[in-house]
Chains A and B, each alone.
Chain A
Amino acid sequence: MTPIQHLGNVDRKKRTSQKVAFGTFTLLSYTVVAILFVILGFIIIKGAKAISWEFLTTAPEEGMTSGGIFPAIVGTLYLVIGSSLISFPIGIMSGIYMNEYATNGKVIRFVRIMTNNLSGVPSVVFGLFGMALFVNALGWGDSIIAGSFTLALMSLPLIIRTTEEALKSIDDSFRHGSLALGATKLQTIRRVVLPMAFPNIITGLILSIGRVSGETAPILFTVAAYFLPHLPKSIFDQCMALPYHLYVISTSGTDIEASRGTAYGTALVLIAIILVVNLLANALRNYFARFARW
């Protein structure tokens, strides 16, 4: 074999192994995509049969084997609103502080590690904590307010991080320009930095809504009611919630087989919320990305 031929063989071998490797990666990647579509498709097809106007607007009946899921939808809505009222301002302000004010490298590092730790805390630990602090120590009992605080705490890291990243992506020249024109730091943030970072911050907020509406473990012991045909009247009432309702009727309901249809329907509603939230976040991101060329 001449050296040239030898090189050719090596080359061919290299190419074959590249083809095999890339083929495998592509295949595995599309398997993951397929898994997602199988899950979505399964729940959409099975759930579509259960969905009707009545299903969405009436309370469960006959031991939750029939009827609708209206109280659970309303409960989840309350929890999303309640936790957003708490977590949005605090999370955004925390992000602003981290990116615009904190100057000491050690402090920044410490807070960032703590935020990362908070985002790594398992959801069930948030549930335990919420039960110990809000339900028992503060005496709020199982209530919307206790659940909202627990969920808010859980969604904080996501909001803080996206706010920080949104602010970081804004070029310093804008801040310098504003400051040079005589604006104070706070004016600069309010009039220049925040409006520019707004689209990315909103994306983070929307994603956090998706997360809050699907969480079960934090609300298990802080707010969720097994069955409550009427709607909560105050923030100190318990309420039903979609994820907990799905858990209950698929594992411990009075008649698990009979409530399967309702379970598929509830899962579909949850999936629909997540789909809408994600599509909205993506659309916003793309829409603003088009204008964000400065």
Chain B
Amino acid sequence: MRKFIEKLVEGGLLISGSVSSLAILLIIIFLFKEAGGLFNSPAVEEGYVLALNKENPVKHLSPEKIMDIFDAEITNWEELGGPDEDILVFRFSDLTNYYTEEELGDEFQYVPDKISELVTKEPGIIAFFPQQYLAKDFQGNIISGDKITPADFFCGTEWYPTSTPAPIFGLVPLLLGTLLVSIGAIVIALPFGLAVAIYLAEIANIKTRGLLKPIIELLAGIPSVVYGFFGLVVIVPLIQKVMNLPVGETAFAGSIVLAIMALPTIITVAEDAMRNTPQAMKEASLALGATQWQTIYKVIIPYSISGITSAIVLGIGRAIGETMAVLMVTGNAAIIPTSFFEPVRTIPATIAAELGEAPAGGAHYEALFLLGAVLFIITLVLNFSVEYISSKRKM
């Protein structure tokens, strides 16, 4: 009986031991399951049809082009490789401009025929209307059968998830925004982080160290939403005032807040690495007449360089995944960033800001999961590179 219980408990331990691997597996499955649906979604809003005149040689339109047409940025088919014909944009609500209510029928029963007639009549038309009004013998060329392609997503330079008729999910501006903010953060954090690490590992006496360590730990413990709030009420207005900018919510503000948040990671990992330098090496250097500072930069830093690299990579990982603080201070403009002092939007901030409004199962929802998958892969790659760097050190 007792043996049986022991086996049972050991079985429980074994299962618990596998739980983090299981969690990673589940995250991958669910993230990619939801995200994969994006490339099966129609490029045009679901339940709607986008149609052209049959004679029109244009057969495919990318979501960006569709948006440009409906925003009247493109007004002639020639720009899209078609004939020299003005584009006539037709939305369902425009129907009454062409037909009277009698012609459409009291229950809109003639609408499908009329739309078909209109599309046939107008050579330059692009018509956008609900699927239910698609005539059985529709005489136009339906182009809304296209699906969102991986190229649309991964090479797309615009992010307009709620634009009609065709939402645009382009990764590039969000990815660049994320990288800009994170790299900015690391550049700011690195001198401080390394200085504190060196100070703690080599300069400070035990008492100072005992005081500083809990402070660094506290810095790591402050919730990201509190950092975001502090950034919002202090750093953002300060940047706006000092730099004389129209808005203070910029990539720069995000980088400052992220730098503070990435500091504990950088400090702890780098300090651990420096402490691992064998005492004999330090003493040999000092015995040869090197000063403490020479020993630090000629012996300790070269010896612990892989640990310091790990610290930087982990810091970047922390910065890239950080959500709330960035969401609160970067202004969230989903455009390709051209300057450090403009609003940007990062991948995690986009997910946090938009998932609440995206209906489950829709293209927008799936696109946000795909963003999550991209983020997950980035952090996975960073983690594996840390693993690789530290495995090299052991050799």
Query: Could you list which residues of chain A lie within 8 angstroms of chain B, going by C-beta atoms?
Result: 14-15, 17-18, 21-22, 24-26, 28-29, 31-33, 35-36, 39, 42-43, 89-91, 93-94, 96-98, 100-102, 110-111, 113-118, 120-129, 131-133, 136-137, 153, 156-157, 160, 184-186, 207, 210-211, 213-217, 220-221, 243-244, 246-247, 250-251, 260, 263, 267, 270-271, 274-275, 277-278, 282
Contacts and interface: CB of A to CB of B under 8 A. Distances in A.
B223 A274 contact: yes
Interface string B304-324: 000000000010010011111
Interface string B340-368: 00000000100110011000100000001
Interface string B356-395: 1000100000001100100110011011101100000000
Nearest to A46: B233
Contact of A157 (B13, B20, B356): B20
B278 interface: no
A118 B24 contact: yes
B324 A263 contact: no
Contact of B27 (A97, A125, A157, A210): A125
Q: Which 7 A-B pairs have the closest CB atoms?
A: A122-B321, A214-B223, A97-B17, A93-B16, A28-B195, A18-B293, A97-B13
B218 A274 contact: yes
Nearest to A263: B229
Q: Which applies to chain B's interface (DSSP): helix, strand, loop or mixed?
A: helix
Contacts of A28: 191-192, 195-196, 199
B260 interface: yes
A251 B232 contact: yes
A220 B9 contact: no
A216 B198 contact: no
12 contacts: A21-B293, A29-B195, A42-B234, A94-B16, A116-B387, A120-B314, A124-B375, A157-B20, A216-B224, A217-B324, A243-B324, A271-B222
B225 interface: yes
Interface in B209-223: 212, 214-219, 221-223
B224 A214 contact: yes
A274 B20 contact: no
Nearest to B18: A111
Contacts of B216: 32
Interface string B93-125: 000000000000000000000000000000000
B186 interface: no
Contacts, number: 251
B338 interface: no
Contacts of B288: none
A125 B17 contact: no
Given A32-B216, A102-B17, A160-B20, 7 more contacts: A22-B292, A25-B199, A26-B203, A29-B212, A250-B229, A250-B232, A274-B223
A164 to B, nearest CB: 11
Interface stretch (B28-36, B41-49, B78-86, B156-164): B28-36
Contacts of A96: 13, 16
B73 interface: no
A186 to B, nearest CB: 5
B245 interface: no
A42 B229 CA distance: 11
Nearest to A243: B225
B226 A124 contact: no
B26 A129 contact: yes
A116 B382 CA distance: 11
Contacts of A97: 13-14, 16-17
A20 to B, nearest CB: 9
A189 to B, nearest CB: 9
A120 B293 contact: no
A109 to B, nearest CB: 9
Given A22-B203, A36-B215, A123-B321, A217 B348 contact: yes
Given A33-B212, A122-B348, A217-B323, A15 B291 contact: yes
